[in-house]
Structure 1
Amino acid sequence: MMKKITLLFLIITSIGFGQVTITPNPFDLTTSITISLDANSTATDCNGLTNPSKVYMHSGVGSDTNAFDISVVGNWGSDDGVGEMTLNTSNNRWEITIVPKTYYSLSDTQANNVTKMGVVFRNAAGNQEMKDTGCNDFIFNVGSFQLTLNTPTNATTILNSGENLAIDAAASLTANFTLKANGTTIHQKNNAKTYSYAPTVTENTTFILEASNNGEVKSTTFQAIVKPTVLEAAVPAGMKDGINLNPSDNTKATLVFYAPGKEFIHLIGSFNNWEISDAYLLKKDTAKDRFWIELSGLNPQTDYTYQYIINADLRVADPYSTIILDEYNDQYINATTYPNLPSYPTGKTSHAVTLLRTGDAPYVWQTTNFTKPAKTDLVIYELLIRDFDELHSYDAVKARLDYLEELGINAIEFLPVMEFDGNESWGYNPSFHMALDKYYGNTTSFKQFIDECHRRGIAVIIDVAFNHASGQNPYYRMYNTDNGGYGGQASSDSPFFNPVARHSYSVFNDFNHSKQAVKDYVKRVSQYWIDEYKIDGFRWDLTKGFTQNCTGSEACTNAYQQDRVTILKEYADDQWEIDPSFYIIFEHLGTNNEETEWVNYRLDEGKGIMVWGNHNHQYNQATMGFGSNSDFSWISYKNRGWSVPANVSYMESHDEERLMYKNLQNGNSIGSYSVKNLNTALEREALAGAFYFTIPGPKMIWQFGELGYDISIEQNGRTGNKPILWNYVDNVNRTNLKETWSKLIQLKLKYEIFETSDFTLNVGNANGLNTIHLTDASATDIQNIVIIGNFGVTTQSITPAFQQIGTWYNLLEDNATISVTNTNAAISLAPGEFKVYANKPASLSTDDFTEQDNSTFKMYPNPAKTHFVLSEQTNEVTIFDITGKQVKSFSKEAINTNYFEISAFNKGVYFIKIKDTKNQIITKKLIVN
């Protein structure tokens, strides 16, 4: 939906549109004009109108530089009649008749400054629109006196030195014509309506053709470029595509640009006033299909911006930009999020530009000894920064890390943070895969966030969309049917994109991963994110799209495809070569045989690829109180024939409806018990957690799921902004859910039994009575777990099938004991009730690790780096991390010396549990830095 209207930088001043006509034309502001639209036209590649029942014109008038800067009429998304058009059934076109000066409420002074009218069309709701090619606004000249340039048809014409440039133009009224070349008048013609001339071109020339009538002057600007002689030279050794800083001379940088099939390329930018100059003509390495240039004389720590201009026509930013500036969206990024954001060179160029800086001091990482959590231990918190905190920044998320650490998660997964179209987005519309999107902050704040996560033992995973790119991607614009615009489709000579997607889930422009250029691109980009930001893993979006075999066939796309298996393994190998412990997670959701091949890939080396496991529907059926389709046993990796738990399972993700929303909308009920009751629904989320976190294998939570987020995924449109409801933490029933999930996560991470392969699930029963059994006879602590739960909506009795008789402990109820004399004696459970029983008690940090110390004990130093000592003798000293997991127990020898070595510990917060000589328990908090 268009909320802000902007004007594309125009060179040719007179443009006609077959899909939109104005009668009469040309016209004055006081002329009654009829604007006519063919809503079904295919002449534009930006027509989202689909059989609209209403069409609205959103329009304005303004100056040559902005067709909307004087007056705008229309209320986007409102069906209020303002700008509403009428369907003319005789020609099937939508029409509206206006007198511009009246319609736009122009004063005489305003009217004197109007030269352009801009128009966009929409449906009543504003969620469909029609714009011109490249998704630009329709722009019309205003005034009865107009100048039309017929030849040349392009803003830039390439000629050999000595060739003539044919110029042909027409004026709507008799005029005097003047042609200027680089500011000098070279030809004139008076008292005529047409103009023709063919000057000889021997140098790069900017032409201005002016036509004057009774003191009113119209002009049009165009260029002739003399085809340059390109110097053939090999790309210097060691240079990568994109920006190469000189490590020994920060006044230099070498730019390398892969551009097969292009004849010559100039560099334009802030260092040459954005003008084509052969002094900035790139050298060509034909053998490598690359162009390159070394810049010198740069001022360190200075913002430079640049673009490549290809064949003197097409302007593109560097495909390997690490930061880009955007002419339309940067103005809406505030200084708190991105301090000192460089300004876009408005009026100098158009489209995205690349930011270049040299001489910046490298970021000094504070956490250099981070060890990633084991894949089987992962508890991932999936997060969309925009909808997590109103400040929508890395700094804002960093400020919330205490909350997430209390929850107990050990990994954060961001939806894509690579540069995407616009500002507010889920991020699956990437335009520059190697650039950090500025809406969330700058590169330093991102690194500081990762650094702090690592200090706390939290891994950082980012979502990557390498299946496709948006129309703004330079490599798409360089080879498409839209003459370098954002629309159309990839041309057949594209080294990167398929003209038509070769799978059935097409979005944006489909990369052809069988091409070497695409492989090189993905590998180069991947290496940058791992090296530059110390990212711990990628979640690969839409891996089904990596095949070249399945145009238009969903059955084919979903079936095993050897070509995508091969290329995805190649990408995995490349990432593991950079970081041997890198997390690789595929969102495939495909056939078990294909996913099994990935799970087992290089598993004997301790690697293997993880895959997403979607169990949203089954868990939601259970939480709503319906036994049908509630069998979530596929969450067990053993049911898939795997030897390791490699499925990153989830009850919710960014792509699924929220459990609580459906609980409250569609939950089951009987008598006074109703899942549609908020507190009841929250209790059932706790029940689901008990049957989720306890199953061995990695798990994922969607943001605020731990508080029972109950806003539909479809509110404000599926990818639209959602309410940020931190006030949930003021609701004790919601925080009770979070505390229950936190305890379950602590159990999972602390006790060996939750990694056992000896477990069974009896779930999905029609009556809602479900059980889980875990057994590990070799575990050093808890060896047996029995979980029982009633997903039904009536009180029922369940057979627990304890593994042994004796004392059992209810782990989530302060280790309350029951004596089991009959392992199959029935236990009554109210609807939504559950129990987590173990053969031994558990120690949970939320219960046991608040600091307890009424003694005279002293511990110093604190914070500590290598060791600490205690002021009195003790019997036992044990250290636990923030999740409550025991990380060290000291020997009697160490206790007797009263010197406790911790030099191998990561930075963070720990709890020291001390048993003194009277066997009293004392707990102290230790900070390791």
Structure 2
Amino acid sequence: MKYLLHTIFLLLGLNVFSQTQDTATWTVNPPAFDEDEEITITVSGVVPSLWGVSDIYLWAWHEDENGNYIDDSTDNGTWTNSTEVQKMTNNGDGTFSYTLTPTTFYGATGIKRMGVLAKAKDGTGDKKTVPDKHFNVGRVNIEFIEPTESQLILPSGSNQDIRARISEGGVLTGGGSYEVYYNDALVASGTCGFPNCFTTLTNITESGTVRFVGTPPGSSDSGEASFEIYIEPTVVEEALPNGLVDGINYGPDDTRATLVLTAPGKEFVQVAASWNNYNPSNSDVMKRDPSTGKYWLEITGLTSGQVETYQYWVFDTNPIAGSPSLVKVADPYSTLVLSPFDDPFIPASTFPNLPPYPVGQEREVTVLQTGQTPYNWQVTNFNKPKEEDLIVYELLVRDFDADRNYQDIIDRIDYFKNLNVNAIELMPVMEFEGNESWGYNTAFHMALDKFYGTPEKFKELIDVCHQNGIAVILDIAFNHAFGRNPMVRMWMDDPDGDGWGGPSTDNPYFNVFPTHAFSVGNDFDHSSQLTKDYVKNVVTYWIEEFKIDGFRWDLTKGFTQNCGDGTFDGNFGCTQNYQQDRVDVLKEYADHSWLLDDDHYVIFEHLGSDNEEKEWANYRLGEGKGIMMWGKMTDPYNELTMGQNGNKDINRIGHKSHTGFNGPRVIGYPESHDEERIMYKNLQFGSSSNPSHDVKDLDVALSRMSAMAAVSVMVPGPKMIWHFGELGMENSIFTCQN
């Protein structure tokens, strides 16, 4: 679904239930039209009240003739806030209409196919019609009967039959004429029979585009359709040079770099890139290491300092049902990606000189640049505060200051010093889908999201923090990845062929269904060695490249394989219970982190039983390590601040009330991003029983927040403050400015 490209994933803990409507019927008038003609699209069978609204909105995109996504309507808005421009007219008879001219509506020409759906203004919870509706553009349309796929992989020397039908004004024609072009050279022509035009391409030895042009009898108009043929190359089997890792390998020679990709089960991989104009040839086919199966290719002739971009074109000559034969993906180990969806909306002041996205390509591409100037670190051996002394400030870069970037935080370093915090924990900054997000919808775990700033500016932020005695901790979501992730897409279930889908049954990294009860995104299989390698490589990169002091591991309950039930719900009781496999794999990840950095902070957001959490809290504690566990105390502290009569037992803010914990490895907190703001609830639900001390009064509520800080932060052991909690932030976490 095209709207997934624009989803803003705001709240990890928000349960949203699908509210799709599948009774919609669509028509277009006139039934056949050219791209510069005005048309009216009408839908019936939609009941807005089922979504709790009275108006519905058109969400639209256009595609090439093979159904590949090109771009959205210029006025779609966002999935959570459609623009008023695309509100459909209520005709008063159960139908809704919208009138448009395709070229104006999309701000483009050469439009081949339109896709539409109807939705609520805020589409959260899948308030939309299903399935998507498509309209072919052009009075003359071509339909291929053979081949049925838009991309074919053939051995060299193959023949290929072509059967096509011509329709005019929506009516199938008989007779007429056709021309077939291969890489724009005329290779066949003739007269059509009824109902099919037929010809055969023989002895095909090079990859290319087949373009079929059909003209109805007695007409001066024509239509066209195309498909791609890829000739299966001979893959060179050659040992991977020593010392190379997945992703980009730079060396001392700035004219060279070597790419490495793990793609088990794939027949061959091409590198499509700026240096070959995204038109790869046999010289761009990656070699295969005979012992590991890894694909690799040395790129030569590069210019030091010049920005290049590339994708992997990954081929499967015999994919399982519902999976594509060709997937175009950025490098899973990208450290910087360019996105056609997000980059146009990134301010130049935040990311100066952002490289342009390559024209004519689709989805993310990876940036490669040799000869980069290393960052000049001012602090090379930061002395971290002890775990038990940590006062962590959890921060969302997007909402911290007006410019919403790393420079804002650098400029406010004195603010943090005056608060006497000694660690800043940033909510995920890895490349996520969309620009405005909490960051848990991660697509590329090793790439820095560009909406907050450049890699150099991020290093400066870390350096400035270290100069001021403040550690930097990153929140990272290894439970899952979202749909743009290359390892999802290389092995995806995509029966409608739109280039998006969940993991297929042969995916070596992800489960088809989550194996726990807290599903979000696509669920990593942490029993897979490939997944373990990926996680460890990503951890290594952030520690070694950015000198990150620690990670807060999001949703660690999901690191088990034991609690699936074959649905997206999972088994709740099983998930809540002790699971040995996740105890073991999470210890393995902690060991890897400590191998790289002996004082590295390992923090789990588990929120589970003491019986399981003590396994991590006590792990290697005698060596001065031990894993810190998030200690949520929101409810009892909020009962205290509101002056209400619920549970007010705050003993578990420290480790001594956690059964079996042998040391201070609980990061206790009254407030975090996952909970409604305490100050908001004070003002909304605080006790008014004492008129002289009405908690709903702003000054009284603030005084109680001060008292809360005194009886939380002062308790021995690591503690956490949530972004602006120290200021008594009263806005609900559900607040949206637009």
Same fold (TM over 0.5): yes
Instruction: Say if 1:98 and 1:540 are closer, same or farther in 2 by CA, change over 3 A.
Output: closer
Secondary structure, aligned partner of 1:150: strand
Correspondences of 1:146-295 after superposition (within 5 Å)? 146-173=141-168, 175-190=176-191, 194-200=196-202, 201-212=204-215, 214-246=219-251, 248-295=252-299
Q: Which moved more, 1:543-552 or 1:619-628?
A: 619-628
Secondary structure, aligned partner of 2:398: helix
Query: Aligned-residue CA RMSD in angstroms?
Result: 3.3
1:610 is aligned to 2:628: yes
Preserved contact between residue 498 and residue 509 of structure 1 (Cα < 8 Å): yes
Secondary structure, aligned partner of 1:334: coil
1:637 is aligned to 2:672: no
Preserved contact between residue 252 and residue 296 of structure 1 (Cα < 8 Å): yes
Distance 2:157 2:432 in 1: 44
Distance 2:645 2:49 in 1: 43
Distance 1:73 1:448 in 2: 34
Distance 2:392 2:108 in 1: 59
Distance 2:295 2:28 in 1: 49
- Measured after TM superposition, the shift of residue 658 of structure 1 is 1.0
Question: What's the counterpart of residue 702 of structure 1?
Answer: 722
Preserved contact between residue 26 and residue 146 of structure 1 (Cα < 8 Å): no
Secondary structure, aligned partner of 1:199: strand
Preserved contact between residue 324 and residue 435 of structure 1 (Cα < 8 Å): yes
- Measured after TM superposition, the shift of residue 603 of structure 1 is 0.8
Preserved contact between residue 273 and residue 280 of structure 2 (Cα < 8 Å): no
1:445 is aligned to 2:457: yes
1:140 is aligned to 2:135: yes
The aligned amino acid for 2:650 is F
The aligned amino acid for 2:337 is I
The aligned amino acid for 1:651 is P
Distance 1:176 1:72 in 2: 39
Of 480, 488, 491, which aligns to 2:492?
480
Of 497, 508, 511, which aligns to 1:498?
511
Instruction: Say if 1:105 and 1:591 are closer, same or farther in 2 by CA, change over 3 A.
Output: closer
Give a deviation string over 1:286-318, Cα, whole Å, max 9, x none: 421211100111011011100010117210110
Instruction: Say if 1:292 and 1:50 are closer, same or farther in 2 by CA, change over 3 A.
Output: farther
Q: Which moved more, 1:622-631 or 1:608-617?
A: 622-631
| TM-score where L is the length of structure 2 | 0.86
The aligned amino acid for 2:392 is I
Distance 1:61 1:528 in 2: 37
Question: What's the counterpart of residue 690 of structure 1?
Answer: 710
Give a deviation string over 1:63-104, Cα, whole Å, max 9, x none: 97967668889995579994156899xxxxx85456656xx8
Instruction: Say if 1:288 and 1:330 are closer, same or farther in 2 by CA, change over 3 A.
Output: same
Of 447, 450, 473, which aligns to 1:461?
473
The aligned amino acid for 2:155 is N
Secondary structure, aligned partner of 2:259: strand
Preserved contact between residue 327 and residue 351 of structure 1 (Cα < 8 Å): yes
Instruction: Say if 1:49 and 1:295 are closer, same or farther in 2 by CA, change over 3 A.
Output: farther
1:379 is aligned to 2:382: no
- Measured after TM superposition, the shift of residue 224 of structure 1 is 1.3
- Measured after TM superposition, the shift of residue 653 of structure 1 is 0.5
Give a deviation string over 1:136-163, Cα, whole Å, max 9, x none: x754223432222332222221111221
Instruction: Say if 1:535 and 1:4 are closer, same or farther in 2 by CA, change over 3 A.
Output: closer
Q: Which moved more, 1:114-123 or 1:585-594?
A: 114-123
Distance 1:701 1:275 in 2: 52
Preserved contact between residue 303 and residue 342 of structure 1 (Cα < 8 Å): yes
Distance 1:452 1:544 in 2: 34
Give a deviation string over 1:528-577, Cα, whole Å, max 9, x none: 00000000000000000001111121111111110000000000000000
Give a deviation string over 1:344-400, Cα, whole Å, max 9, x none: 1121x2111100000112111111232001111101110000011121111111111
Preserved contact between residue 68 and residue 118 of structure 1 (Cα < 8 Å): no
Q: Which moved more, 1:235-244 or 1:142-151?
A: 142-151
Give a deviation string over 1:653-706, Cα, whole Å, max 9, x none: 111111111111111121332011111111111111111121101111111111
Correspondences of 1:514-553 after superposition (within 5 Å)? 514-551=527-564, 552-553=570-571
1:562 is aligned to 2:568: no
Of 677, 699, 708, which aligns to 1:658?
677
Secondary structure, aligned partner of 1:680: helix
1:585 is aligned to 2:603: yes
Preserved contact between residue 162 and residue 202 of structure 1 (Cα < 8 Å): yes
The aligned amino acid for 1:58 is L
The aligned amino acid for 1:224 is I
Correspondences of 1:23-34 after superposition (within 5 Å)? 26-28=31-33
Preserved contact between residue 156 and residue 313 of structure 1 (Cα < 8 Å): yes
Secondary structure, aligned partner of 1:672: helix
- Measured after TM superposition, the shift of residue 609 of structure 1 is 0.4
Distance 1:376 1:63 in 2: 56
Distance 2:594 2:571 in 1: 33
The aligned amino acid for 1:182 is N
Preserved contact between residue 57 and residue 82 of structure 2 (Cα < 8 Å): no
Preserved contact between residue 658 and residue 709 of structure 1 (Cα < 8 Å): yes
Of 323, 336, 341, which aligns to 1:328?
341
Structure 1 unaligned blocks of 5 or more: 7-16, 41-47, 89-93, 723-929
**Structure (1 or 2) with the larger CA radius of gyration:** 1
Preserved contact between residue 54 and residue 85 of structure 1 (Cα < 8 Å): no
Of 672, 677, 689, which aligns to 2:697?
677
Distance 2:279 2:342 in 1: 24
Of 512, 534, 555, which aligns to 2:525?
512
Secondary structure, aligned partner of 2:457: helix
- Measured after TM superposition, the shift of residue 276 of structure 1 is 2.9
Instruction: Say if 1:339 and 1:599 are closer, same or farther in 2 by CA, change over 3 A.
Output: same
Question: What's the counterpart of residue 896 of structure 1?
Answer: none
- Measured after TM superposition, the shift of residue 188 of structure 1 is 1.1
Preserved contact between residue 61 and residue 114 of structure 1 (Cα < 8 Å): no
Distance 2:347 2:555 in 1: 32
The aligned amino acid for 1:159 is L
- Measured after TM superposition, the shift of residue 60 of structure 1 is 6.3
Distance 2:488 2:293 in 1: 17
Secondary structure, aligned partner of 2:180: strand
Instruction: Say if 1:117 and 1:511 are closer, same or farther in 2 by CA, change over 3 A.
Output: closer
Instruction: Say if 1:85 and 1:519 are closer, same or farther in 2 by CA, change over 3 A.
Output: farther
Distance 1:155 1:323 in 2: 30
Preserved contact between residue 420 and residue 432 of structure 1 (Cα < 8 Å): yes
Secondary structure, aligned partner of 2:702: helix
Distance 2:112 2:238 in 1: 48
Of 471, 484, 502, which aligns to 2:483?
471
Secondary structure, aligned partner of 1:165: strand
Give a deviation string over 1:476-517, Cα, whole Å, max 9, x none: 111121168665432221110011100000101000100100
Question: What's the counterpart of residue 433 of structure 2?
Answer: 421
Give a deviation string over 1:574-621, Cα, whole Å, max 9, x none: 000000000000000100011111111001111100000001111111
Of 366, 371, 376, which aligns to 2:378?
366
Secondary structure, aligned partner of 1:525: helix
| TM-score where L is the length of structure 1 | 0.69
Secondary structure, aligned partner of 1:146: strand
Distance 1:204 1:49 in 2: 52
1:303 is aligned to 2:304: no
